């Protein structure tokens, strides 16, 4: 069965440093999509970045990049130059084309709580 | 500004009460979802709908039902609330995710339900 694993319940990082949040996934479908969301203390879920399984290059969005290693089934989020406002819960999620299909059902990991220290 | 709106941010209900959580989206999305979020468990899918009057069970549908009479509205119903349904409930919507669209989920602000 498809699964998303985030092994880091919480992390600290110093302001202005880079941080990597780990995510591994398990699927037998060759076509899938990987997402990262940010959830600040206010509760809203903010979409950060997307990587398709057939994308040749790692996705980047501003200070966010996705380190996609297909053979290892990992999709780590890298945040460069951390800011105090990056303190939040971060969720990795996966959509399988074969299972979710056009319904876009996502399965989520358990999240990593990131604290940026001044 | 595109939006998913959940009717109540905070609710307190008694065991056995019937609870309605309402969600409205203004993006003309076909797909709508209800997740619940609990510490250490992440987000778990309760029900989803890919069209009006269509619904499918997610991973944890027991104790819940849903209604989608109009494209923009997706309601989650707790027929008889229990204390183990105390949680944060998140509604989301998305387009089909084809034609180059990532099909990302757009979320509401969440409804925190406490059942006493």
A26: tokens are 């398990």
Total H helices, total E strands in chain A: 0, 12
Q: Residue A103 and residue B107: Cβ atoms within 8 Å?
A: no
Q: Nearest Cβ partner of B103 from A37, A43, A104?
A: A104
Residue ranges for chain A with pLDDT beneath 50: none
Residues with Cβ within 8 Å of residue A10, at least 6 apart in sequence? A112, A113, A114, A115
Is the pLDDT at B99 greater than 60? The verdict is: no
pLDDT at B64: 98
Q: What is the 3-state secondary structure (H, E, C) of chain B?
A: CCCEEECCCEEEECCCCCEEEEEEECCCCCEEEEEEEECCCEEEEEEEECCCCCCEECCCCCCCEEEEEECCEEEEEECCCCHHHCEEEEEEEECCCCCCCCCCCEECCCEEEEEC
Q: Residue B105 and residue A104: Cβ atoms within 8 Å?
A: yes
- How much is the average pLDDT of B102-109? 89
* CB atoms closer than 10 angstroms to residue B25: 22
What sign does the CA torsion over B35, A29, B52, B103 have? positive
* CB atoms closer than 10 angstroms to residue A71: 5
> How close is the nearest chain A Cα to the Cα of B98, in Å?
7
User: Does the CB of A68 have a partner CB in chain B at under 8 Å?
Assistant: no
Is the pLDDT at B58 greater than 60? The verdict is: yes
* CB atoms closer than 10 angstroms to residue A47: 16
Contact residues, chain B, for A37 at CB < 8 Å? 107
- How much is the average pLDDT of B13-27? 96
Contact residues, chain A, for B106 at CB < 8 Å? 47
Q: Residue B95 and residue A104: Cβ atoms within 8 Å?
A: yes
Is the pLDDT at B38 greater than 70? The verdict is: yes
What are the beta bridge partners of residue B43?
A: B37
pLDDT at B41: 94
pLDDT at A96: 73
**pLDDT tens-digit series, residues B70-85:** 999 999 999 999 999 9
Which is it for strands B65-70 and A64-69: parallel, antiparallel or unpaired?
unpaired
List the one residue out of B29, B38, B55, B13 whose CA is nearest residue B107.
Answer: B29
pLDDT at A101: 54
- The larger pLDDT score, comparing residue B15 to residue A98, is at B15
Task: Categorize the per-residue pLDDT at B100 as very low, low, confident or very high, splitting at 50, 70 and 90.
Answer: low
The percent of residues above 70 in pLDDT, for chain B, comes to 94
List the one residue out of A21, A19, A24, A1 whose CA is nearest residue A9.
Answer: A21
Contact residues, chain B, for A108 at CB < 8 Å? 35, 42-44
Contact residues, chain A, for B110 at CB < 8 Å? 43-44
Q: Nearest Cβ partner of B109 from A33, A35, A44?
A: A44
């Amino acid at each position: 069965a498809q699964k998303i694993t985030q092994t880091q319940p919480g992390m600290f990082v110093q302001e202005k440093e880079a941080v990597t949040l780990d995510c591994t996934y398990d699927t037998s479908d060759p076509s899938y999509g990987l997402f990262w969301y940010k959830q600040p203390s206010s509760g809203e879920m903010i979409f950060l970045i997307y990587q398709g399984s057939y994308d040749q290059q790692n996705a980047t969005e501003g200070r966010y990049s996705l380190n996609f290693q297909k053979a290892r089934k990992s999709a780590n989020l890298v945040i460069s130059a951390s800011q105090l406002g990056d303190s939040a819960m971060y969720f990795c999620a996966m959509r399988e084309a074969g299972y979710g299909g056009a319904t876009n059902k996502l399965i989520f990991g358990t999240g990593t709580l990131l604290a940026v220290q001044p | 500004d595109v939006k998913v709106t959940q009717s109540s941010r905070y609710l307190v209900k008694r065991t056995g009460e019937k609870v309605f959580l309402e969600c409205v989206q203004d993006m003309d999305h076909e797909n709508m979802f209800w997740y619940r979020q609990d510490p250490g468990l992440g987000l778990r899918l309760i029900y989803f709908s890919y069209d009006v009057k269509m619904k499918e069970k997610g991973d944890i549908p027991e104790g819940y039902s849903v209604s989608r009479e109009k494209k923009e509205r997706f309601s989650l119903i707790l027929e008889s609330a229990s204390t183990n349904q105390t949680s944060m409930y998140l509604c989301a919507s998305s387009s089909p995710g084809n034609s180059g669209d990532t099909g990302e989920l757009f979320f509401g602000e969440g409804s925190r339900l406490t059942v006493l």
